[in-house]
Amino acid sequence: MDSQNTYWTDRALLEWQVELGVTDAILDTPVDRYALETVKPAPNAATPEKPVVAPEVVKAPDVDAAALARTAAQTAADLDALSGAMQAFDHCELKKGARSFVFSDGNPAARVMIVGEAPGREEDRAGRPFVGRAGQLLDRMLEAIQMGRAADNAAQAVYITNVLPWRPPSNRTPDASEIAMMLPFLERHIALADPEIVVLMGNTPCQALLGRTGITRMRGEWVDVLGKPCLPMFHPAYLLRNPIAKREAWADLLSLKARLRG
């Protein structure tokens, strides 16, 4: 095949993959970057008498990442310090693949704190939570009850964060170890922001903070989280895929509004 043909074939293949929804370029096989970094250089080059010996891989010692996260989180005295401690935390693999660290948005003095799952592509680009399509729907939902992340007064404002501050590859659902590792930071985040009410968007924050999932059954039922009233709701991304569920989401928003009126 001449180079012109190869170009058009490669281009067609690439376009086909983009149409299928591929967003990130990765290799055919995973690369263990720990191994790459820690492979000791062979003492001597191979010779006919002395064949190459398999390189010795030095394994990183096992660390209790959740315990390290807990210590780091506890020492953070305010939100800036917490953000710094999270950015300095190197034990979550997601950090290596993410473009941005996404901490929070909105008014930290808000009466309501919303917890989502993790940044997606748009959030990873912008460095802010909930700015993509799901985020825009969230903004419209909040507007419908006269609230929003841009409001200055604590009564109408919301404060928004996620269970994870780094985008999982291809927006996959965070796994249990990632959630457990980052949970101490989330708990500290809630303690420092000290909202009156916590809203959990979807299954991932329910798994993290309530230890269970099943948002279809859990949504709309007030529970207690870290000593605060907490409302699980459908995630706006779910509402985009299942517009029929907006009816329940509206009921939950009204329940939130009523609770705020006290």
* Closest distance of CB 32 from ligand URA, Å: 29
Q: How far is the CB of 45 from ligand URA (least distance, A)?
A: 50
Beta strands in the chain (DSSP E): 105-106, 112-116, 158-162, 197-201, 223-225, 228-233
Taking the complex as a whole, the smallest distance from the CB of residue 225 to ligand URA amounts, in Å, to 17
Nearer to ligand URA, 94 or 134 (CB): 134
CB of 12 to ligand URA, least distance (A): 32
Residue type, 214: G
If the CB atoms of residues 75 and 149 are measured against ligand URA, the closer one turns out to be 149
Query: Which residue, 68 or 210, has its beta carbon nearer to ligand URA?
Result: 210
Question: Please, what is the minimum distance in Å from the beta carbon of residue 135 to ligand URA?
Answer: 6
Q: Are 139 and 160 in contact (CB under 8 A)?
A: no
Residue number with the shortest CB distance to ligand URA? 116
Among residues 6 and 216, whose Cβ is nearest to ligand URA?
A: 216
Residues 6+ apart with CB under 8 A from 234: 201, 202, 215, 219, 242, 245, 248, 249, 252
Q: Which residues lie near ligand URA (CB under 6 A)?
A: 116-120, 123, 129-130, 132, 134-135, 162, 201, 237
- Closer by beta carbon to ligand URA, 31 or else 130: 130
- DSSP 3-state of 91: coil
Count of C-beta atoms within a 10 Å radius of residue 185: 25
